[in-house]
């Protein structure tokens, strides 16, 4: 409480004055942005940030937490700090920091290089960490500003190339001091779904180094690298590659290129399918023709083999018949010879019979019987 003394001067206690000044700060300034050169930067207990922002004639103390860090910082960098003015009853005046980021092209590049060196040592940019995208995703998570040209271009190209897909959009700021937090929350939102999309696209159009600084923020880069959903990061600029793009599974150069990377061209697929069908049809016809030729060749070979077998058989039969005919006993008889038997035995020698033996002599035209009267 305060009161007036005899001279009508307002009398405060230190606590009352601090509270009154803080109320005035809140009413007059609220949350504001403070830009200055970083000095006396230090981290206490791995949790608290203490630093000064200065210009040529003044220096302001600032206080925050390590969770607001966009990456490694060092004295001399130009920072933009979001915060509120506070007069602490014990520690005096400072700015209570709610957000901070490097600003200015030179500072952003230097801060980005510091962070890149740190993350590269950790392996966050290694190719071995990169995952393949699904060939035709049915659900796509899109993180961007819904009212941006990047959003319109991405949706237009997706619908043109391959319509009928489900695209779930997380609207976020893509620049400014609050953008990193929104981007990180959006990545967490999609990754926390029970049935997450098959691919996650983070995109925006081009801009200045200040505009694109959110994509060099350590919190955003780590969120992209840690995503369990395969990621595509597409920032519409070519001169520099953001660290979020290096951490993504796939980098695309523009929102339009991101759409082309994520889905194939349906017409191209149909053309490929038609060509494949024609090639398969031609291959089947060629295989059938080859099979028919091979079958005809085999049938001809079989016919030839059967003919050879029958000819060989006929020759064998003829040869055998000729051989059998040569052993026909009637042939010698037709040439004038006779077959002599005695007691049913063929007589081959005159010594085989004796006088008084009965014999038969078979000729070609008949048989006669005789008795041996004498032997010479």
Q: Residue 45 sits in a domain of what CATH number?
A: 2.40.50.140
Does one domain contain both 138 and 236? yes
CA distance 273 to 169: 32
* pLDDT value of residue 2: 52
What mean pLDDT value characterizes the chain? 86
* pLDDT value of residue 296: 86
Domain annotation covers residue 309:
no
With cut-offs at 50, 70 and 90, classify the pLDDT of residue 303: confident
Domain annotation covers residue 192:
yes
Question: Which range is least confidently modeled, 41-50, 287-296, 315-324?
Answer: 315-324
- Whether the per-residue pLDDT at 301 is higher than 90: the answer is no
Once rounded to an integer, what is the mean pLDDT over residues 85-97?
A: 86
Element (H, E) at 80: strand 78-88
Instruction: State the pTM of this model.
Output: 0.64
CA distance 70 to 244: 12
Which backbone phi and psi does 91 adopt, to 5 degrees? -110, 0
Over its C-alpha atoms, the chain yields an Rg (Å, rounded) of: 54
CA distance 158 to 262: 8
Does one domain contain both 253 and 277? no
Domain annotation covers residue 56:
yes
The dihedral formed by the CA atoms of 343, 347, 352 and 354, expressed in degrees to the nearest 10:
60
* pLDDT value of residue 376: 62
Does one domain contain both 140 and 161? yes
Domain annotation covers residue 110:
no
CA distance 130 to 276: 31
Does one domain contain both 157 and 241? yes
Please indicate whether residue 147 or residue 329 has the higher confidence score (pLDDT). Answer: 147
- Whether the per-residue pLDDT at 4 is higher than 70: the answer is no
Does one domain contain both 78 and 64? yes
Element (H, E) at 54: strand 48-54
Does one domain contain both 242 and 353? no
CA distance 215 to 234: 10
Q: Which residues contact 115 (CB under 8 A, 6 or more apart)?
A: 70, 71, 72, 216, 218, 221, 243
Q: Is 284 helix (H, G, I), strand (E, B) or coil?
A: helix
CA distance 15 to 10: 14
Span 28-76, pLDDT tens digits: 888 889 899 999 999 999 899 999 999 889 999 999 999 988 888 889 8
Does one domain contain both 173 and 155? yes
Are 124 and 225 spatial neighbours (Cβ–Cβ below 8 Å)?
Answer: yes
The residue segments making up the domain with residue 15 are: 3-103
Question: Which range is least confidently modeled, 8-12, 25-29, 246-250, 312-316?
Answer: 8-12
- Whether the per-residue pLDDT at 3 is higher than 60: the answer is no
Span 339-366, pLDDT tens digits: 778 777 877 777 777 787 777 877 777 8
Does one domain contain both 281 and 221? no
Domain annotation covers residue 305:
no
Are 202 and 243 spatial neighbours (Cβ–Cβ below 8 Å)?
Answer: no
Does one domain contain both 251 and 278? no
For 125: left if phi > 0, alpha if psi spans -120 to 50, otherwise beta; the answer is alpha
CA distance 352 to 349: 5
With cut-offs at 50, 70 and 90, classify the pLDDT of residue 229: very high
Helices first, then strands: H and E counts in the chain: 9, 16
Q: Which residues contact 3 (CB under 8 A, 6 or more apart)?
A: 10, 11
Does one domain contain both 150 and 280? no
Does one domain contain both 257 and 127? yes
Span 191-227, pLDDT tens digits: 999 999 999 999 998 888 888 889 999 999 999 999 9
Domain annotation covers residue 209:
yes
**Number of domains making up the chain:** 4
* pLDDT value of residue 291: 86
* pLDDT value of residue 236: 79
Does one domain contain both 69 and 173? no
The structure tokens 């600003």 sit at 103
* pLDDT value of residue 199: 96
Domain annotation covers residue 230:
yes
Say how many CA atoms lie within 13 Å of 260 toward its Cβ.
8
């Amino acid at each position: 409480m305060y009161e007036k003394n005899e001279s009508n001067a307002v009398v405060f206690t230190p606590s009352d004055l601090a509270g009154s000044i803080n109320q005035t700060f809140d009413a007059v300034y609220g949350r504001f942005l403070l830009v200055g050169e970083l000095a006396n930067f230090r981290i206490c207990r791995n949790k608290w940030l203490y630093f000064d922002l200065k210009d040529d004639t003044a220096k302001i103390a600032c206080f925050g937490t390590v969770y607001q860090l966009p990456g490694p910082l060092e004295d001399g960098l130009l920072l933009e700090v979001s915060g509120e003015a506070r007069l602490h009853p014990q520690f005096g005046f400072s700015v209570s920091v709610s957000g901070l980021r490097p600003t200015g092209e030179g500072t952003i590049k230097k801060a980005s290089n510091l962070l890149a060196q740190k993350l590269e040592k950790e392996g966050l940019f290694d190719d071995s960490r990169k995952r393949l995208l699904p060939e035709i995703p049915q659900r796509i998570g899109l993180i961007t500003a819904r009212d941006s040209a990047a959003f319109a271009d991405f949706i237009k190209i997706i619908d043109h190339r391959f319509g009928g897909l489900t695209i779930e959009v997380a609207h976020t700021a893509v620049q400014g001091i609050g953008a990193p937090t929104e981007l990180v929350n959006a990545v967490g939102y999609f990754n926390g779904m029970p049935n997450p999309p098959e691919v996650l696209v983070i995109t925006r159009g081009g801009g200045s180094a200040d505009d694109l600084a959110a994509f060099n923020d350590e919190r955003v880069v780590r969120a992209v690298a840690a995503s369990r959903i395969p990621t595509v990061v597409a920032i519409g600029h070519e001169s520099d590659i953001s660290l979020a793009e290096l951490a993504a599974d796939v980098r695309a150069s523009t929102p339009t290129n991101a759409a082309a990377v994520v889905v194939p061209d349906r017409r191209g697929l149909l053309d490929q399918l038609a060509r494949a069908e024609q090639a398969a049809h031609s291959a089947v016809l060629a295989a059938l023709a080859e099979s028919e030729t091979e079958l005809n060749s085999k049938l001809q070979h079989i016919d030839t083999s059967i003919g050879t077998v029958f000819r060989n058989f006929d020759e064998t039969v003829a040869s055998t018949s000729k051989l059998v005919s040569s052993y026909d006993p009637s042939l010698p008889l037709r040439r004038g010879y006779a077959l002599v038997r005695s007691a049913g035995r063929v007589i081959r020698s005159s010594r085989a019979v004796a006088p008084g033996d009965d014999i038969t002599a078979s000729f070609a035209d008949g048989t006669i019987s005789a008795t041996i009267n004498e032997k010479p």
